[in-house]
């Protein structure tokens, strides 16, 4: 099931063309890493999906709806956390539900209704904090937490709104290596929830597109890696997709065995940075074909 469809999207800032004919379909439950050289337009693409910068040409669909402005189907977490310092972790996580489901007159004039709802919101916030491994820190304020904890709260804050798609823009870029690894494991936990949902014939709950500069991270946490880079047969400016292949899937309790993706990392680097490989770039835009082949093989196996 497709959650995000980017159809022939181009974007320019004034005369500067940044994206050129980007086509991408993301299915429910995929965790996709988007990588590319600095300044190639990754954040521009995320902003177009978020709806703050609709594309100059083409269209973006989330579910069946065209994105023309920010909406609750698309969540985002940035590199620098944006929590309210005067709210505890659980209050921060519950904040979006409060805005979404109540108004000031409701809270003032329907005190008991609001109190009941508030209790439910905080309970839901506790569940989401548990999901991101922060069950014990629910009453802490942001300034009492480490950077990694704050980023987990920000992710819980986005997840509680149950967006159809969650965008992560360099979410772990400001964290040290150890914390970064912890958060990567947290993403693998979310992916494991997707796997379980599929096994139980439910729609996988988490569809994520993550921009990262770290290739090991991209290959470790995602089940699909997409490379964006400048290349066009017609010489037009602007980046397009030059790489789109499945990534190895890890379980949260498995060791991070880099040897499993060392070859793919080399392939990715060549596709994104080498003009010679980009010339043949369609050879590496094969995600959906490879997935179909995997399904056929699985269906054919005894």
Ligand X SMILES: Nc1ncnc2c1ncn2[C@@H]1O[C@H](COP(=O)(O)OP(=O)(O)OP(=O)(O)O)[C@@H](O)[C@H]1O
Does residue 142 belong to the site contacting ligand X (CB under 6 A)? no
First to last CA, the chain: 26
Cβ atoms of residues 79 and 171 within 8 Å = yes
Site for ligand X in 74-133 (CB under 6 A): none
- The helix or strand, by DSSP H or E, that contains position 16, with its residue range, turns out to be strand 16-27
Give the one residue of 3, 4, 9, 18 binding ligand X; rule: CB under 6 A: 18
When the beta carbons of 79 and 102 are compared against ligand X, the nearer one is 79
- Could you say which of 29, 42, 54, 250 contacts ligand X (CB under 6 A)? 42
The answer to the question of residue 230 lying near ligand X (CB under 6 A) is no
| Chosen residue from 3, 32, 40, 215 binding ligand X by CB under 6 A | 40
Instruction: State which residue, 41 or 75, has the beta carbon closest to ligand X.
Output: 41
Return the range that interacts with ligand X (CB under 6 A); candidates 13-21, 96-104, 140-148, 275-283: 13-21
Distance of CA 11 to the CA centre of its chain: 21
Q: Comparing C-alpha atoms, which of 170, 150, 264, 167 is closest to residue 213?
A: 170
Q: For the packed helices 111-131 and 147-159, what is the interaxial angle rounded to 10 degrees?
A: 120
Q: Closest separation between CB of residue 173 and ligand X, Å? A: 9
- Pick from 8, 39, 82, 295 the residue near ligand X by CB under 6 A: 39
> With contact defined as beta carbons under 8 Å apart, do 100 and 44 qualify?
no
What's the residue count for the chain? 302
Nearer to ligand X, 38 or 259 (CB): 38
- The answer to whether residue 38 forms part of the interface with ligand X (CB under 6 A) is yes
Does 215 help bind ligand X (rule: CB under 6 A)? Answer: no
Stretch that binds ligand X, among 32-40, 99-107, 199-207, 246-254 (CB under 6 A): 32-40
Residue-wise over 100-130: b if at least 16 C-beta within 10 A, else e?
Answer: eebeeeeeeeeeeebeebbeebbebbbebbe
Which of residues 8, 13, 52, 279 is near ligand X by CB under 6 A? 13
CA distance readout (Å), 225 to 250, 252, 266: 14, 19, 13
What is the closest distance, in whole angstroms, from the C-beta atom of residue 80 to ligand X in the complex? Answer: 13
Tell me which H or E stretch contains 239. Answer: strand 239-246
Per CB under 6 A, 15 contacts ligand X: no
What DSSP character marks residue 285?
B
Using CB under 6 A, which of 10, 30, 44, 212 touches ligand X? 44
Cβ closest to ligand X, residue 134 vs residue 168: 168
**Binding test (CB under 6 A) with ligand X, winner from 20, 43, 222, 278:** 43
> The tokens of 7 are what?
């159809």
Query: Residue 76 corresponds to which tokens in the numbers above?
Result: 């985002």
Total interface residues for ligand X by CB under 6 A: 11
**Is the Cβ of residue 16 or residue 112 nearer to ligand X in the bound state?**
16
Nearest residue (CB) to ligand X, 169 versus 223? 169
Helices then strands, each counted (H, E), the chain: 10, 10
Quote the CA–CA distance of 160 and 94 in Å, as a whole number: 8
Q: Least distance from C-beta 240 to ligand X, angstroms?
A: 13
Enumerate binding residues for ligand X (CB under 6 A). Answer: 13, 16, 18, 36, 38-44
């Amino acid at each position: 099931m497709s959650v995000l469809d980017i159809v022939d999207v181009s974007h320019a800032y004034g005369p500067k063309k940044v994206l050129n004919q980007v086509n991408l379909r993301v299915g429910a439950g995929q965790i996709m890493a988007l990588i590319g050289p600095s300044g190639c337009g990754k954040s521009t693409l995320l902003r177009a999906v978020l709806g703050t910068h609709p594309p100059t040409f083409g269209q973006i669909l989330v579910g069946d709806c065209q994105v023309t402005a920010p909406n609750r189907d698309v969540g985002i977490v940035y590199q620098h956390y944006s929590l309210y310092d005067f709210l505890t972790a659980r209050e921060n996580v519950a904040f979006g539900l409060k805005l979404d489901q109540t108004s000031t007159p409701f809270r003032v004039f329907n005190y008991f209704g609001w109190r009941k709802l508030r209790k439910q919101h905080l309970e839901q916030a506790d569940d989401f904090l548990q999901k991101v491994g922060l069950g014990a820190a629910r009453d802490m304020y942001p300034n009492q937490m480490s950077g990694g904890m704050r980023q987990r709260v920000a992710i819980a804050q986005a997840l509680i709104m149950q967006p159809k798609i969650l965008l992560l823009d360099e979410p772990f870029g400001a964290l040290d290596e150890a914390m970064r690894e912890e958060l990567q494991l947290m993403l693998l936990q979310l992916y494991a929830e997707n796997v379980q949902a599929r096994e139980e014939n439910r729609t996988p709950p988490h569809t994520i597109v993550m921009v990262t500069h770290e290739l090991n991270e991209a290959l470790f946490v995602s089940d699909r890696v997409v490379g964006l880079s400048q290349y066009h047969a017609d010489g037009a400016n602007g980046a397009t997709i030059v790489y789109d292949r499945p990534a190895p899937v890890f379980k949260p309790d498995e060791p991070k065995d880099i040897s499993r993706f060392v070859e793919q990392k080399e392939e990715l680097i060549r596709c994104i940075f080498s003009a010679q490989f980009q010339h043949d770039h369609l050879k590496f835009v094969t995600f959906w074909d490879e997935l179909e082949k995997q399904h056929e093989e699985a269906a054919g196996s005894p």
